[in-house]
């Protein structure tokens, strides 16, 4: 569904009193506090309307709201940082906008116009720039979300939708290198399913197996293919990469893997640095053998919330395989530092990845 929207700037309805003074921006906890304002827009009668920036706050919604019953909801995640001139830098927002619109297509939802997603984000950041933490490891996490709002419980795609961007000061997501369990029973996504869309249901389906893994002492599961459970797909909130014999190896983008923006950024940097990159099927057996014969040098997850998360243990069929120490992980440490420098404006933005406000 392609949609149009006319206005270039969104009207702003500011808060009467900012809550910023009540928040400890030096020690933000991921996802718990929300900045003063949000972008809001409605899709009604086949067009976008009512786009504005307004105080963050509760919504009044029908109990028959379509998304509550049938899960027609998608979201995005991106981050804003501050450079030493006090400018706000947002990392690759166009990519999130494009991915949201690809998810929208898969889920029978309208595309969000650039004027609402990107211009709205820019205006929101301009207004709430005081909420962007400056401390290393911290950022303002931005959460665009689009959901179905028909007050109708018949099963069909909704005809009305709401789009919001809320923002939340964030600290580190994983405080330590993670322990992950290769999942060989439950499935997150299958060929032809919704794995490549960032839709709410994918995350709901992942909760029970992730909780089980948590109760066994693991931070995350590594999903495998839904047919044979032999090939690695991704982790619950990040894509997965390995360094084996000096090569960067990662599962290819398929319709059961979320096409991560961090993933694409890491691969672009690796290629520039002359590191051999393989995007292909990666079997669990190959990884276990590489751990056993010492050719697996590094394993890490990459994502917006997680950044670059070293993996220290991989569990498979009841055995915990310990990986080499994180101090010696040359590639993951280098790519983490380079990405942090780009995101915080400490190095030239050679790729045009940063929106400056
Ligand atoms: N895979 C899943 C399931 C995710 O939720 C995320 C996070 O958004 C990623 C991968 C990484 O994607 P990105 O780098 O765009 O944040
Ligand atoms: C992100 O990294 O932005 C995500 O969406 C992961 C999340 C589910 C916390």
Q: What percent of the chain has pLDDT over 70?
A: 98
Which one of 156, 172, 188 terminates a domain? 172
- Alpha-carbon distance values, 207 to 68, 184, 233, 237, 238 (Å): 17, 15, 17, 11, 15
Burial class (CB in 10 A: 0-12, 13-18, 19+), 175: exposed
Q: How far is the CA of 253 from the centre of ligand 2 (A)?
A: 18
164-221 per-position pLDDT tens digit:
999 999 998 888 999 999 999 999 999 999 999 999 999 999 999 999 999 999 999 9
What does the alpha-carbon distance between residue 321 and residue 339 come to, in Å, rounded to a whole number? 28
Q: Which residues contact 257 (CB under 8 A, 6 or more apart)?
A: 189, 195, 196, 233, 234, 239, 251
Residues 208 and 313 in one domain: yes
Residues 163 and 230 in one domain: no
Burial class (CB in 10 A: 0-12, 13-18, 19+), 202: buried
Q: Does the pLDDT of residue 316 top 60, yes or no?
A: yes
Residues 281 and 232 in one domain: yes
Domain at 300, CATH number: 3.20.10.10
Average pLDDT, the chain: 96
CA dihedral for 337, 342, 339, 304, sign (positive or negative) = positive
Would you say the CB of residue 303 lies under 6 angstroms from ligand 1?
yes
Structural domain boundaries, residue 36: 4-172
Residues 195 and 139 in one domain: no
Q: Is there a domain that residue 353 lies in?
A: no
Q: Is there a domain that residue 351 lies in?
A: no
276-305 per-position pLDDT tens digit:
999 999 999 999 999 999 999 999 999 999
Q: Which protein residues touch ligand 2 with a CB less than 6 Å away? A: 77, 237, 303-305
Domain at 86, CATH number: 3.30.470.10
Which one of 120, 140, 172 terminates a domain? 172
Q: How far is the CA of 163 from the centre of ligand 1 (A)?
A: 20
* pTM metric for this prediction: 0.96
Residues 157 and 208 in one domain: no
Measuring CA to CA, which residue among 341, 175, 357 is closest to residue 269?
341
Residues 338 and 292 in one domain: yes
296-303/161-170 β-pairing: unpaired
106-162 per-position pLDDT tens digit:
999 999 999 999 999 999 999 999 999 999 889 999 999 999 999 999 999 999 999
Would you say the CB of residue 234 lies under 6 angstroms from ligand 1?
yes
What does the alpha-carbon distance between residue 166 and residue 53 come to, in Å, rounded to a whole number? 10
Pick the ligand that lies closest to the CA of residue 308. 1
Q: How far is the CA of 263 from the centre of ligand 1 (A)?
A: 8
Report how many domains make up the chain.
Answer: 2
What does the alpha-carbon distance between residue 39 and residue 290 come to, in Å, rounded to a whole number? 47
């Amino acid at each position: 569904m392609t949609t149009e929207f006319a206005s270039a700037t969104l009207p702003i309805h500011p808060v009467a009193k900012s809550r910023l003074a009540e928040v400890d921006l030096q020690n933000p906890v991921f996802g718990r506090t929300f900045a003063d304002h949000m972008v809001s827009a409605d899709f009604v009668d086949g067009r976008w309307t009512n786009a504005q920036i307004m105080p963050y706050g509760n919504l009044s919604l029908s109990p028959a709201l379509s998304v509550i019953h049938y899960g027609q909801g998608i979201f995005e995640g991106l981050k804003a940082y501050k450079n030493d001139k006090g400018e706000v830098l947002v990392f690759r927002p166009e990519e999130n906008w494009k991915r949201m619109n690809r998810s929208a297509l898969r889920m029978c939802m309208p595309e969000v116009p650039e004027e609402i997603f990107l211009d709205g984000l820019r205006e929101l950041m301009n207004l709430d720039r005081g909420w962007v933490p400056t401390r290393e490891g911290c950022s303002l996490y931005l959460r665009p979300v689009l959901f179905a709002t028909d007050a109708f419980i018949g099963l069909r795609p909704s005809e009305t939708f709401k789009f919001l961007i809320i923002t939340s000061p964030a600290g580190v997501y994983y405080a330590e290198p993670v322990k992950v369990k290769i999942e060989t029973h439950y499935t997150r996504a299958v060929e032809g399913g919704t794995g490549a869309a960032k839709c709410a249901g994918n995350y709901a389906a992942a909760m029970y197996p992730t909780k089980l893994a948590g109760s066994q002492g693991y931070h995350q599961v590594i999903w495998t293919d839904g047919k044979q459970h032999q090939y690695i797909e991704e982790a619950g909130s990040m894509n997965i990469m390995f360094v084996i014999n000096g090569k960067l190896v990662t599962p290819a983008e398929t319709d059961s893997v979320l096409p991560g923006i961090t993933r694409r950024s890491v691969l672009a940097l690796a290629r520039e640095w002359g590191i051999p990159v393989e995007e292909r099927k990666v079997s669990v057996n190959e990884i276990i053998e590489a751990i056993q014969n010492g050719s697996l040098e590094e394993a890490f997850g990459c994502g917006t919330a997680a950044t670059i998360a070293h993996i220290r243990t991989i569990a498979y069929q009841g055995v915990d395989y310990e990986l080499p120490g994180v101090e010696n992980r040359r590639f993951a440490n280098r790519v983490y530092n380079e990405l942090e420098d780009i995101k915080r404006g400490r190095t030239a933005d050679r790729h045009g990845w940063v929106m400056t406000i």
